[in-house]
Amino acid sequence: MKMTESHFSVRLVEVSSDYGGQRIDNFLLHLLKGVPRSMIYRILRKGEVRVNGARIRPDYRLQAGDKVRIPPVRLAQNAVPVCPPQALLDQLEKAVLYEDQQILVLNKPAGVAVHKGSGLHFGVIDICRILRPQAPFLELAHRLDRETSGCLVLAKSLPALRAMHDALRAGTTKKRYLALVQGYWKRGAVAVSEPLRNGLRGGERVVTVGVTGKSAKTHFRPVNFFRRASLLEVILATGRTHQIRVHAAYAKHPIAGDDKYGNSQFNQEMARYGLRRLFLHAHSITVPLGNRERDVSAPLDEGLKNVLDNLESK
């Protein structure tokens, strides 16, 4: 394969106060534009990136004055750059829910990944950088699974990114979801607090409940009931991978359309009501804006609304 030597020499970068507190993986993603996320984590894992001469983990938070060694990074040369289709560019432009000088909030469509990688040539962040070429800084403030729709916040400045991360860690930013789950939810408002751990099953990455996992807490509250399913509002107290999906399955009420943790028979039944995707939607989020907060909400798409209408009428 023909290679090009982009970012081809070793660099030593001193961290300014503007980037103090940022995770090293996010710092590298911002600094090495166009480098796949998988490559970033590979050079971190192999110890090729050093901070003050020492190996660090991807979640290491930089401090002002840190000296970061960045190794040569070689990128495969593409004969033709892959650009998002115009229809997707238009779709995301129309999906903007709120925007100011500090943040951009989108109603992310289901099926669109937030970042490129694993065979994907572009994600939401890449598309938004095309849509906002004048924005010198544009980063994901948090993430949504590819099949999850709804509120996604992008920061347009480092202070805004820090404020969002601080609010998420402190629990002052509330992320509310709507999920259609199997069966009649009889438990009322309840929190599931089982720890979660990452693992492999048949070569596929999965998340499971386990005492050796990381702490996780999910609040469930019933909103509506149907003959074979229940609509729940879900609030995350922590932000683990696949947290809602795994906790719902643990509670014996897997999410409709979940082909990883769900019930295939139930999914087939919901397909007869018109469900073509995972029924998990981030319907609102509280965003810190200086000394005030703003609640941003995202309506359900027509497909999910039709499923609820069909369940209501039958």
80 confidence band (pLDDT: 50, 70, 90): very low
Residue 175 and residue 285 in contact, taking contact as beta carbons nearer than 8 Å: yes
Higher pLDDT, 242 or 136: 242
Q: Is there a single domain that holds both residue 239 and residue 160?
A: no
Whether residue 182 is contained in a domain is answered as yes
What is the full DSSP assignment across 211-250?
A: TTSB---EEEEEEEE-SSEEEEEEEESS--TTHHHHHHHH
The tens digit of pLDDT for each residue in 193-214 reads 999 999 888 778 899 999 899 9
**Pick from 167, 188, 203: which residue ends a domain?**
167
Q: Phi and psi for 263 in degrees, rounded to 5?
A: -110, 120
Quick one: tokens of 132? 């906002």
The tens digit of pLDDT for each residue in 261-313 reads 999 999 999 999 999 999 999 999 998 877 778 899 999 999 999 999 999 98
The whole-number pLDDT of residue 104 equals 95
Which among 177, 213, 207 is positioned nearest to 195, based on CA atoms? 213
**DSSP-based three-state secondary structure for 25:** helix
Which residues are registered as beta bridge partners of 11? 70
Q: Is there a single domain that holds both residue 218 and residue 151?
A: no
The tens digit of pLDDT for each residue in 118-137 reads 666 788 998 998 899 888 78
Mean pLDDT (the chain, rounded): 88
Domain with 162 in it? 86-167
Domain count, the chain: 3
Alpha helices in the chain (DSSP H): 24-31, 37-45, 86-94, 124-131, 158-170, 243-250, 264-271, 302-313
The whole-number pLDDT of residue 47 equals 92
Task: Tabulate helix, strand, coil % of the chain (nearest 5).
Answer: 25, 30, 45
Which residues are registered as beta bridge partners of 98? 105
- Rounded CA separation 185/170 (Å): 30
**DSSP-based three-state secondary structure for 296:** strand
Q: Is there a single domain that holds both residue 260 and residue 184?
A: yes
- Rounded CA separation 39/45 (Å): 10
Q: Is there a single domain that holds both residue 158 and residue 178?
A: no
**DSSP-based three-state secondary structure for 299:** coil
169 confidence band (pLDDT: 50, 70, 90): confident
The whole-number pLDDT of residue 261 equals 96
- Rounded CA separation 301/110 (Å): 9
Whether residue 118 is contained in a domain is answered as yes
Name the residues annotated as catalytic.
Answer: 145
Rg (CA), the chain: 21
Residue 32 and residue 15 in contact, taking contact as beta carbons nearer than 8 Å: no
Whether residue 81 is contained in a domain is answered as no
Residue 179 and residue 232 in contact, taking contact as beta carbons nearer than 8 Å: yes
The whole-number pLDDT of residue 119 equals 64
Quick one: tokens of 148? 């999850």
Mean pLDDT of the 139-166 span = 92
Q: Is there a single domain that holds both residue 121 and residue 42?
A: no
Q: Is there a single domain that holds both residue 152 and residue 217?
A: no
Q: Is there a single domain that holds both residue 92 and residue 138?
A: yes
Q: Is there a single domain that holds both residue 72 and residue 150?
A: no
**Pick from 120, 151, 167: which residue ends a domain?**
167
